[in-house]
């Protein structure tokens, strides 16, 4: 029979898997307590970093319907449960891993799809959500401006043509008519 504290731990981890948009499994052997604190601070509001026992974490992930992470639950394991922007969390983990060789990204899951360490690296290389939205808005604005210019072009061409005809008539009205040959 399972101990009540282990049952509670599995329930807590399962809840974190269910409420997270992504989870990244890492190895952390060699990180000091101060470095772990720095990592948690670097993740900020984007993710919660938790050291967990492999067996309990695997059970919790399977109960949450996530079996893709099973191969990563060996050795020292910590999981970053991402509740905010997955790109920002991936960037934080990648940048911290660059500075600290002891942090190794094993793999993860994003919206129910398995990610390898390379996939997480590619995710970290993406621009932030705000930058992508700004680029999209700029592209849409340019398309609308181009459409407005296209719709306005025939009208402005008509106005220029009418103005040129008016100017020509005024210029011809001021000059005497040529004499007709008899």
What is the arithmetic mean of pLDDT over 15-24? 90
Query: Do 102 and 24 lie in a common domain?
Result: yes
Residue 137, domain extent: 129-173
Strand order in the sheet with 47-51: 47-51, 78-82, 22-27, 104-110, 113-116
Query: Do 103 and 15 lie in a common domain?
Result: yes
Give the count of domains, the chain. 2
The gap between the terminal CA atoms of the chain, to the nearest Å, is 127
Tokens 């269910």 correspond to what residue? 18
What is the arithmetic mean of pLDDT over 51-67? 90
Higher confidence at residue 137 or residue 151? 137
Query: Do 116 and 149 lie in a common domain?
Result: no
Q: Indicate whether 143 belongs to any domain.
A: yes
Query: Do 119 and 156 lie in a common domain?
Result: no
Q: Indicate whether 180 belongs to any domain.
A: no
pTM beyond 0.85, yes or no? no
């Amino acid at each position: 029979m399972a101990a009540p504290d282990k049952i509670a731990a599995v329930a807590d981890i399962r809840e974190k898997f269910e409420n997270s948009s992504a989870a990244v499994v890492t190895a952390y052997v060699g990180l000091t307590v101060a470095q772990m604190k720095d990592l948690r601070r670097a993740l900020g509001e984007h993710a919660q970093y938790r050291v967990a026992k492999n067996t309990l974490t695997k059970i919790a992930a399977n109960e949450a319907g996530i079996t893709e992470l099973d191969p990563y639950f060996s050795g020292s394991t910590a999981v970053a449960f991402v509740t905010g922007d997955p790109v920002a969390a991936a960037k934080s983990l990648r940048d911290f891993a660059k500075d600290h060789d002891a942090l190794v990204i094993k793999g993860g899951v994003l919206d129910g799809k398995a990610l390898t360490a390379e996939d997480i690296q590619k995710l970290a290389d993406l621009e932030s959500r705000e930058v992508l939205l700004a680029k999209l808005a700029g592209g849409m604005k340019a398309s609308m401006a181009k459409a407005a210019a296209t719709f306005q072009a025939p009208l402005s061409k008509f106005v220029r043509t009418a103005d040129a005809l008016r100017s020509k008539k005024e210029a011809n009205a001021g000059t005497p008519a040529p004499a007709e040959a008899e």
